[in-house]
Structure 1
């Protein structure tokens, strides 16, 4: 048999098969020897066939095929391995190695027959890789190289389809249209998809007709009935069984199944409806606002959000008396009292109540879909307590009203039909002092004690009304009594004035020495108006009083030449009166002291006499002040005596008790050479500082202590800068030397001189104008080794020192 095969790289080969068989699934070679003649392609994809030439080989094969799930009793024959070198003389031996060699697969060493020892399952392992070799039986030398081949298992339909889940759960809205997708189920077959129809699956529905259907190729479940038939309120749950069959659904295929539980979800396709058309309730007439009258219930076939509803009162004779709300937990309408009820006025009410969905769905239910019912409310009669005509009373009475004067009255009646008489009393918890009383029969309130507005301007009491026939039926009302003012208090000075007059007034000088004002505990309607005058008994030679017309008065001196040595205090009596009826007046006394003053009138010295008169201190207060002064004097004397007994300590106790006072250095120090900048001897011998004609130790002598250092590079610019620094330091030293507040010991004064600017115009030495020439540091020698040390540390270059 000649077979032309086109390989992947364009090469066409002719295969000649001897003693072979051909089938749809490939080549099944049973001990065949295979030759081939390679024919190369010509240009333009034209193939020219040459005369075949035979090339002899040892053996060549690719794979053997073995059927899975073998049920025979003998070993299953796979094929025969044969080498061209085997002459049949028994000198060739076949050796098998690889996966399962010797256990699953065995070979006849002499003949090369290959067998399987047991049944194999393709789903566990689809193929096995083996190696075979022909060797010399006598010496074991290989006759040919080892060759690898594959034993592939032929699939049979031995696995039924299996779904991913045993039970599926799905939801679909009710009233869905035909063909609405619900869910997709998927099954898998372990058989070989590339071989036959063993894994070709077809889906079908075995339970769930006629509501649902399934697509045979995809496993998608869809609705099969129209919206009118898919009603959740009629049926909510469905159980659908889906089957998957292999072999493309043909007879003899294997089948797997799964269950799908489908639930219809709710849509708002039902309006709410009252469970009854008429509701009747009763409520006592004493029910307070907000008290529940009753509950009305409406039924909605929907659930959840689609069943939420709202109730409203649409008509009736009690729209202003009752109100309705919705209980969000139970979806009931709650009828409550809105205003007080009165059985004697109206015994019953009739209302129309309406209910509708909060979230209507216009696809199924009209937005205006509503239901109505009638509500009748009967008011029950209750034995009510007396009812006052007002919720509160405000009464007024003058503070000078006589005991027994009637202030006003309260009135209460029994609202019941029998009109029981009422008795009045005052709640004594609100009138502890028993200032007021009430007539038990007519409710008149009168005084029992005098009033004083200045002590209490308002009185708040409660009057209790009780039925004669049933004293337990009581009610109360607040009564606010305002006490009206009567001018019964005289005005007095507003403050305790401390007034003085200077004894060194010039001749003929008249001066105002004090401005006074007054206070009055009364409260006239038009406000206070005070009048001031000098009392008739008060001498008028020294002082006078002038009314300013604005409720104040000024005190003036009428002469000069007051002498503290002759008389240190004067008493001036001032009459203060108001303009109310009856007019009230009082006399107050001012104490005026004679004091020594400066030219501008500022007090310097006065007698420490207490102020006298009606505005002065009491005798007890004066005694207390004197005692305090005596105690303070005693404490001062004891403190002074104790202080004298203390021994004065020397300035310096020992050499170790030396305290250095350093203000600031602001540098790293001068090292070991810095021995003259701070003279500690000045502190060890402070007596040396007492000689005023000697030089101060905190100022170095003008003569240099050390020879100047060798000259360094200098320039004209640096000389000018050095002169500026020298002048600055000289000026600061002179100021410090001449300061009277300079410390009497060595200290460091810091002179923060910033200079007039660098010639290099930069703070960096990299940009200096010049670095040549020696720097002149002679002027530094005057100020000791500290500045020389600083110059050595920072003055290596001209630019550096300038900075």
Structure 2
């Protein structure tokens, strides 16, 4: 017999018992009760009462009850409200859902009193539909979706929203806040509208995606889109000046200009700019790391190269790292300024002239300017005048006009004039040819500067009457420019030096000195020996360098095989000493040998201890002094004097990727990683921050980030961002398409271990 037939049979039996004379009955039934879908537990469905006969004391314990339902359900129960009034309410299970459950339930309610009288009635429960908001499904239902897009990726789909409406109505999607980079379609597909640019766009976007049904009910999910920086921008120069002026004759090493540039890709991307001069220039060098341009070679404005064109154009090349990355160029001009570094010169220094005694005052004797010149290029450095008319006859002759070099008679020369009885028939005059511009160099024979006496030449003349002897330097032993170095007093024969002597250039001068009277001459050879002094500083290569030290490097190791090589023109290779003057915090570094060699290696002297807090800095800047203390100086040296050279080293300590560091810093996408090294365990290259110790593997295809609730991560590259859709129509990129390794380990604290990306 079917279930329905059984129910009917049982129903007739109950009616039979009621018909036996009992007056027990269920009031207000049969009836229909209404309840809205998704109502909570104990929601009221219907209220009914029980009517007892006068002879019956009460309703039997446990009654009334629901003995059957059609269709079957345990969603309803009966609870007493008073002794004879009862309520039909909802239970906790199952939840009434209009879309998944029947809309009508017939509940058979059975009651019995203590006299065993019974009644059975039916309550029909109708489920009423309620409009519900849309539901977001998948990962977005419980957490934000994290998406990474490589800078430069073109327009394309990046994510498909999964949402449904319980009433199976069509949904519409919207995006807030509004963005010119992202849109969402009516089907819930999030897309980029154009190519992303890390340097111009925001680096992160928090997109709220809202699904709305036809009655306006809404549900919102969150998508976080991060733009990943790549090396796609060329560096640019930041200095505004392109023309610089320097005086000639600057010492090698003199700083001319500091070239500065920036890389737009610096933020969140390791970038080290390298500078060069292309093509190389013999007169200037540039520090490849700092961009400082220095004089590399003596520049003589009077040289033929610069006389007409005193400008040097340099093409400055800057390139970011890694090698083969982005580059830029600019042209600067360095103007060589003339200085007054040459004294006037004369083609002839001795002149002879006769003048009749009848000559009137103002009669011309010599026009000296026609015989003199100045090698300096520009005025007033190449301008000079004539001063200091002296000697026998200086009261009879004069320069007119003053400074012109034109020698004329100044008075009557007639011997018969009684006023001229003291006049002689021969006079010797001296005129100084001197620069107008500071420092007022004088001609080769006369100088206004303090001079050092080195000896004296003396000659005799037996002819009578004695007319006087004049001394002059007329030749030298092949030493160019000797007349700019030595001077002889034309009357006394005292020899002096008027310029600085350089032992490293010339150790000996052989001069020819001439003594002459009015008719005859005699010559003598004079040898001048230059004594050596310690006036040269040690020069070491390289004079600046950047190094990296693994944190667990063994004590006594030569760091990166680095050594410096020094030379000094006036010191023995065994006279050098090396010491670190500053920056050697906790004395981790030393040089070996510390003295007695022209080469020394950089050695790790003590281990690093960051775990216990002994060491806190990850970058060291060492300043090294090198002295030529002349340990082997001999008695032939004129003086023992210490000169000092300097070397600057930048050292970064590389954290060990397999060792936990005492840091709580979390690595963010915009952390600047300013160094790189190789993991000794895996052999893979990784990048590190020298201040925080944060690290990441150098491969930047996948980036991860640790959060309290790890979001779902998608990485969109330019190769996968255009128009992808799964066959099921969701458009959700697969892990393989998104560039995510399905076997990649769970994300870890980046401050403890390198993370992928």
When normalised by structure 2's length, the TM-score is 0.34
Q: Which has the higher contact order (CA 8 A, sep 6+)?
A: 2
When normalised by structure 1's length, the TM-score is 0.32
Q: Which has the higher helix share?
A: 1
Q: Quick check: which has more Rg, 1 or 2?
A: 1
